[in-house]
């Protein structure tokens, strides 16, 4: 995909690097040259411009863009104006960061359906980690069900999914498994990443440091997360 990110603060920069690492063409935009310089060799393109100036968009491939992300986090007015210009100039999917409840209201009035709250979402994830010691990440389906990434309990290591009789005993479905692999990142440093091993079979052996991606009732996920 071709993605343009407006705002290269902590959130915007992290998103730009992650999308680049996963094979997307990313253009990073910020009005501060020092932020542009930080990512110029790490993403497809980085450009210094004021995103509140509609004329500046003439230099951007805005009509060929699949997704435009407004990641501006310091200036609510600039974020709203940038979003309004994007709605006028492109039919691409626009994702906007919200900085306050009134910002939410304005974005919704503009017809933006993809609104992100990085700080709130990070706080929720940290809350889950603190409350459920083995949980890594979780996606809530509804009030009862979630898809969660959980650390492998020690007693599962070396056993197959069939041995564990996972669905009957844990009342959870293992969707897939994430397994560690070393990779060199964009700045040349080795880092451990989690790779999807595919759809596990009954004979799949659980290994140390595996992350199990499970689906089920929140209560059952909570029980397995409290295993020693």
Q: Are residues 104 and 150 in the same domain?
A: no
Q: Are residues 112 and 138 in the same domain?
A: no
How does pLDDT run across 81-120, given as a tens digit for each residue?
999 999 999 999 999 999 888 999 999 999 999 999 888 8
Residue 124 lies in a domain: no
Average pLDDT, the chain: 87
CA-based nearest residue to 205, from 147, 164, 154: 164
Number of domains composing the chain: 2
Gap between the Cα atoms of 90 and 56, Å rounded: 14
Tally of CA atoms within 13 A in the half-sphere of 5 that contains its CB: 30
For 29, the domain range is: 2-117
- 97 bridge partner residues: 116
Residue 123 lies in a domain: no
Do 216 and 167 touch, CB atoms closer than 8 A? Answer: no
Rounded to a whole number, what is the distance in angstroms from the first to the last CA of the chain? 42
pTM above 0.85, yes or no: no
């Amino acid at each position: 995909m071709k993605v343009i990110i407006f705002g290269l603060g902590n959130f915007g920069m992290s998103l730009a690097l992650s999308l680049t690492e996963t094979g997307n063409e990313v253009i990073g935009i910020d009005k501060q040259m020092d932020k542009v310089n930080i990512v110029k060799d790490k993403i497809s393109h980085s450009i210094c411009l004021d995103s509140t100036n509609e004329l500046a968009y003439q230099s951007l491939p805005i009509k060929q863009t699949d997704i435009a992300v407004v990641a501006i986090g310091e200036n609510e007015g600039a974020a709203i104006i940038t979003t309004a210009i994007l709605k006028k100039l492109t039919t691409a999917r626009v994702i906007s960061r919200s900085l306050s409840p009134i910002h939410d209201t304005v974005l919704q009035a503009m017809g933006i359906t993809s609104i992100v709250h990085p700080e709130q979402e990070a706080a929720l994830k940290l809350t889950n980690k603190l409350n459920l010691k083995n949980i890594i990440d979780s996606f809530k389906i509804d009030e009862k069900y979630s898809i969660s990434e959980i650390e492998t309990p020690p007693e599962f290591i070396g056993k197959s999914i069939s041995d564990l009789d996972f669905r009957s005993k844990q009342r959870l479905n293992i969707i897939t498994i994430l397994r560690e692999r070393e990779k060199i990142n964009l700045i040349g440093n080795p880092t451990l990443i989690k790779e999807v091993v595919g759809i596990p079979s009954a004979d799949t052996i659980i290994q140390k440091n595996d992350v199990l991606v499970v689906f089920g009732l929140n209560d059952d996920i909570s029980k397995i997360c409290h295993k020693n």
